[in-house]
Structure 1
């Protein structure tokens, strides 16, 4: 009997309330600035990670889509930047409810699936989606089959299916095609879409003890090149599409101490990122 195939929806399990500890060996893969944990992780009935804040009745939803940078479950609930942004926006008189739809390992294609099949029917016309470009794209960006790379982590279909098409786009062609679909869908369904570049630890291999310990100089060079290609593709896409845009990556290029590893903010990093990002987002929401 053939195994049944399905499209995986990358979301947290609904109605969770538990404590999360660092996996074995995780601390060794950081620069040591990650907290000790454990950390409380709660989700609502739709699998959104809860902020721990009280929100005003009738508050408008703002969905934060992204990978583990947005998920941020190795951070206290009230420190996570989505939680802090919600409080800061409220302090400026905005009645909003920030919904954390971050999920570790999610790619741009997988986030588009979440956007179209989960977020659209939940927020409806007039809702806001803040789409963080995931760092999880990096390992498959230039690989054969790109966003359709046939592994359990990356494939849009499970069990993974080896693509047969020989002309699947990869690199910037694949990324901008998927982003174009997201912008089109947002327009069709009346959703306010904000595209955001996810910041990362930006440092020289020779002078950054974390990078020097974790990867080789050649690997670091390749990583920098992939990031530069993605950055250029996104900048061209934004210029052509006119989508609302926050370049958080550019803002944090000189703040490597805000990260406990290559991709994730430490607690201090969340405190630095949150007010800046809330103010950037507020300016766009007022438009």
Structure 2
């Protein structure tokens, strides 16, 4: 009998309460500013990571989806930026229940699946969703099968099989097509979608010893080219789609010390990012 296939919903295990330690060798892959851990990770009945804050009963949800940048499980529960944003908004009288739907390795296509099949029926018409463009797109951005790349990490179907089509969209055409579907779905279901570009550690290898140690000159150039292509494509998409947009990528191009590696915020970076993002959201949530 052939093995049945299924669409993977990238989410944390519901009703989890445990401690997460750094994997062996993880510290060597950072600049040393990641904490020691272990870190508590709790999830609710829907698999969203708990913020640890006291929230008023009946507070409307504000859903954050993205990759490991949003997940941030190598950070104390109360310091994760989603948790801090919830407190910042509460202090301004915006009493949302912030739901952390970040998941390591999630691509834009996988996040669209989470949005359509998990978030839409959770928040309903009038719901609010913060959609972070994932850095996880980078490894497959220009590959022939792109978002349908046949591995357990990237393929939308499991077990993965190599796509039969020989001319699948890739790069900016694939990215903007999927984003277009997300924006269209949000409009059709009456959901307020806020698109956010995920920031990263940005510096030259000459001025950043961590990047010089971890990434070759050719790799650094390739990553920069892919990020610039994504940046250009997203800005063009935003200009024509009318989606609400927060450009965290551009804002944090001059803040490499906020990251403990190439993609993840350290504890002080979470403080900086949370305060900035809360200001950006406050403007957009009160319009």
Q: TM-score, normalised by structure 1?
A: 0.99
SS in 2 for 1:41: strand
Q: Is the 8 A contact 1:48 1:99 kept in 2?
A: yes
Equivalent position of 2:9 in the other structure = 9
Distance 2:12 2:117 in 1: 15
Equivalent position of 2:203 in the other structure = 203
Equivalent position of 1:259 in the other structure = 259
Equivalent position of 1:93 in the other structure = 93
Distance 1:95 1:24 in 2: 39
Equivalent position of 2:124 in the other structure = 124
1:217 aligns with 2:198: no
Tell me the alpha carbon deviations over residues 125-157 of structure 1, each in whole angstroms, 9 at most, x when there is no partner. Answer: 111010000000000000011000000000000
Distance 2:25 2:57 in 1: 43
Q: Is the 8 A contact 1:17 1:43 kept in 2?
A: yes
Distance 2:86 2:3 in 1: 43
Cα offset for 1:58? 1.7
Distance 2:27 2:266 in 1: 12
Equivalent position of 1:185 in the other structure = 185
Structure 2 unaligned segments of length 5 or more: list them: none
Structure 1 unaligned segments of length 5 or more: list them: none
Equivalent position of 1:239 in the other structure = 239
CA RMSD of aligned residues (A): 0.5
Equivalent position of 2:31 in the other structure = 31
SS in 2 for 1:12: coil
Equivalent position of 1:166 in the other structure = 166
Distance 1:242 1:197 in 2: 15
SS in 1 for 2:18: strand
SS in 1 for 2:218: helix
Distance 1:211 1:169 in 2: 31
Q: Is the 8 A contact 1:58 1:95 kept in 2?
A: no
Distance 1:168 1:285 in 2: 37
Equivalent position of 1:140 in the other structure = 140
Tell me the alpha carbon deviations over residues 171-227 of structure 1, each in whole angstroms, 9 at most, x when there is no partner. Answer: 000000000000000001111000000000001012211111111001100000000
Paired residues in the alignment total 287
Deviation >3 Å, runs of 4+: none
Equivalent position of 1:56 in the other structure = 56
Q: TM-score, normalised by structure 2?
A: 0.99
Cα offset for 1:57? 1.8
Q: Give 1:263-278 correspondences, 5 Å limit.
A: 263-278=263-278
Distance 1:271 1:140 in 2: 31
Cα offset for 1:167? 2.1
SS in 1 for 2:100: strand
SS in 2 for 1:194: strand
SS in 2 for 1:9: coil
